[in-house]
Structures are given as C-alpha cells and as structure tokens.
Amino acid sequence: MNPTVALRVLCSNPSNDLAQTGVNGFEDPVSSRYIIPAGNRLPVGAVSMKTLPRGVRIVPLLVGLIILVVLLYKVGIRDVVGNFAIIGWGLLPVLALSVLWKGVNTYAWVLAFPPDLERPDFLTLYRVAMAGDSINNLLPTGNVGGELAKPYLLRPHIRMAESLPAILANKTMELLSGVIFIGLGVGLALFTLPLPSRLRLAIGSAVVVGGLLVGLFSYLQRKHSLSRLLTFLDRIGFEKFRLKAKADPVKRIDERLSAFYHHYPWRFLGCLSLRFLSRALGVLETWLILDLMGAEPTLATAVLFVSLPLILTTALFFVPGGVGLSEAGHTYLASLFSLGSVAGLSLALVKRCRQLFWTVVGSLLLVPLQLRASQYVPNIVPDTGSDPVPAATD
C-alpha cells in the first residue's frame, strides 16, 4: 500500500479508545477528524523545537542571554546575589501566590466553556494550562504555541471542535485584560515618569494599535467569521482542499464563539474579570518581592513594573520567554524610580526563577499528557479516496 494513504478517524464515538493498537495520529483542529498516516508511526500533536528553523530557535535566545549577561556584569552579580539572600525563604510565598493566579486563570478558562457542554474537570484543565505555559516559555511563538497544543492534549477528554472555541475565547479575554492593564500602566507612566517624548509616543501608539487589534479579533468571533472565510476560500478556487467537508465543524466553532459573547454575558464578564484579577495578583507579587528586598514600593510602582515590560516582551515575542528583555525593562524602570538598577534586575530574576520553576513542572506534566493524547485513537475508518465523511454533529 502506498505509504501516503491515510486512515480517517471520526469523532462520533470518543469513548472508543484504541490506545492498545499502538496507532499514532493527529486530529484536524477544524474538521475534528483523526488522520493516521498508514505505514508511518509519526510523533504528532506536540509542538517541537525541531519544527522551527535553527536560526529562529537559537539566535533570539542567544541575543537575550547576552543582554542578561551584560546586565549582570554592569549591575554586579554580588549585589544581585545579596538581594536573593535577603529574600531567602520569602520565595515560598511568591511561589504560593503564583499557584493562586494559575488557578484563577484556569477558572477563567472554565467559564469560557458553555454551561451545557460536558467539559474536562478543573484539575485536568489546570495541568493542561501549565503544560501549555511551559511550551510558550520555551518556544518563540508569542504565547501561541501552547494554545495550539491544548486542543490536542485535551482530546482524550473532549473533541477538538468543542475545546477550540473555549481556548479562543479565553485567549481573547487574556489579551483584552492585558490591553486594559497596559493602558492603565501607560496612563500612570505618562503622568509620573520623566519619559522622552518619542518614547511616550511609541508606548501610546503601541497600546492603541494593540487595543484595536484585540477589539477586531473579539468582534470577528461574534460574527461567524470562520464560516464566512471558508465559503470565500471555496469560491475563489480552493475546492481541492475539500473545504465544504469542514463546513459543519467550523460552523459549530463559530456558534460556540458567538454564544459566548451573546448568550452567556455573565460568563464573558466573569472570564474577563478573572483574567484581570490574575493581572492584579501579578502586581501583588511584584510588590511583595520589592518589599522583601526592603525597597518600600508603592502600588503604582508595582503596576508599572508589571505593565510596561509587558509591552517590550510582547513586541519582541520571538525571544523565548522574553529572556534578557524583561530584565532590561525592569532595570531601566528601577533607575527611573530611583530604586537602583540592582533592585530592578533582582526583581526580574526572582520572577525568572519562578517562571523556570513552573516551566519545569509544566514540562514534566506535558510528557504524560502528550503520551495519553498520542495513544487516543477512536473509530478508525480506512481512506478509500472518496470525499471525506462529514464530522459527527452534536
């Protein structure tokens, strides 16, 4: 048999788990079909660094690390280590606070699911969210790679066509809360910091453009834009991709997204509010770290330390984890606040240690999640070369 022949797997019976057969495959995120390459055992579904060009993977990370090393050299490694010694066991409440805000983010994701849908339980979503965050921290994908992995990791629990709308809605609320929070920080900065006029203009323009893009993204989700895009592509000559066969699952995704905004306003507001609460917990973390170092911070200072570096790391998303960029932003702001560059760099490195800790935890969780997802193969149907079988409807 030609090795390019595939097996189609329908999602009409997700309970039929054929993990013991050893067949690996992937699920089309649009059509909700599992595709199994015949004669090939391909590791699929995972976001891998190997799928990216070597330069894209290495160069931005090296640049970020060089920036970090230069900062440590100029500021003084001994002084930074001294601040870590002052904090000491105070790192434990910092980690505990991050557990709380990850739980808040997970519950925001829960609210993004429609109430009539049988969704995965809270702990499953918590684990998948942590695994997705670890991917975002390791890959230069602008916090998108982890979101793309989540439907795959969840497929033993829920069909991808059902999990995608909640992931998109939750991500939109994350972006919207981020724009609001950055806008708050920029407003404080313009009135309290002696910033150059060009920097003021650049920051203000970035917030306006970001807000417009997020607003447009949210608006399109309300207007069944995926179905319209599919129809348009089919009309202009993309018939060979059999787009009509994907119409039903795409329509279902559009309906779920539209319902989140129109039929469940309290869930929409709850999800957005929890996302904003998560930002506020980040401010509390910053205040706590500075206070442990004896810097006597104010609430406004903590808000600025959280919001303004976010602009830099978002704009330069191709640097994995914002290595070097976040540290540079914190160091610069600390000098403006007369806190000293040592305090700013120490603050950033404490946050970096917290991030590394959860990246390791998320990576350890990713292994069994990926293994279970790769082994989950319901209802295998051989490819006969005919038109695709429509995905099962609700």
pLDDT at 283: 93
pLDDT at 284: 94
- Give Dmax over CA atoms of the chain in angstroms: 72
> For residues 137 and 307, is the Cβ–Cβ distance under 8 A?
no
pLDDT at 229: 67
Q: Is 228 helix (H, G, I), strand (E, B) or coil?
A: helix
Question: Cα(312)–Cα(278) distance, rounded to whole angstroms?
Answer: 20
Torsional sign, CA 169, 183, 276, 350: positive
Contacts of 337 (CB under 8 A, 6+ apart): 301, 304
Share of the chain above pLDDT 70, in %: 72
Pair of tokens at residue 177? 């809360």
pLDDT at 258: 78
Q: Is 37 helix (H, G, I), strand (E, B) or coil?
A: strand
Position 329 confidence tier, pLDDT thresholds 50, 70, 90:
confident
Q: Is 34 helix (H, G, I), strand (E, B) or coil?
A: strand
pLDDT at 39: 39
DSSP 27: E
171, pLDDT greater than 80? yes
Q: Choose the weakest-confidence range: 7-21, 171-185, 256-270, 369-383.
A: 7-21
**Which phi and psi (to 5°) does residue 115 adopt?**
-65, -20
109, pLDDT greater than 50? yes
Which carries the bigger pLDDT value, residue 160 or residue 35?
A: 160
Radius of gyration of the chain (CA): 23
84, pLDDT greater than 50? yes
323, pLDDT greater than 90? no
pLDDT at 13: 35
Position 38 confidence tier, pLDDT thresholds 50, 70, 90:
very low
pLDDT at 378: 62
pLDDT digits (tens, 9 = 90+) for 40-72: 333 333 444 445 555 556 777 787 788 888 888
pLDDT digits (tens, 9 = 90+) for 331-387: 888 888 888 888 889 999 999 999 999 999 999 999 999 888 887 766 544 444 444
Pair of tokens at residue 326? 């976040």
pLDDT digits (tens, 9 = 90+) for 257-296: 778 887 888 999 999 999 999 999 999 999 999 999 888 8
> For residues 253 and 32, is the Cβ–Cβ distance under 8 A?
no
Question: Cα(210)–Cα(190) distance, rounded to whole angstroms?
Answer: 18
pLDDT at 359: 92
Pair of tokens at residue 141? 């994908």
Which pTM does this prediction carry? 0.73
> Which residues sit opposite 53 in a β-bridge?
none
Which carries the bigger pLDDT value, residue 381 or residue 74?
A: 74
Residue of 337, 332, 331 whose CA lies nearest to 297:
337
pLDDT at 41: 39
pLDDT at 337: 81
Share of the chain above pLDDT 90, in %: 22
How does the average pLDDT of the chain come out, rounded? 75
Residue of 254, 245, 247, 268 whose CA lies nearest to 225:
254
Residue given tokens 């097996």 in the structure block: 7
Per-residue buried b or exposed e for 14-37, using 16+ beta carbons within 10 Å of the residue's own CB: beeeeeeeebbbbbbbbbbbbbbb
16, pLDDT greater than 50? no
Structural domain spans, the chain: 64-375
Residue given tokens 């979503």 in the structure block: 125
Contacts of 207 (CB under 8 A, 6+ apart): 179, 182, 183, 186, 311
pLDDT digits (tens, 9 = 90+) for 192-225: 777 777 777 877 777 788 778 877 877 777 766 6
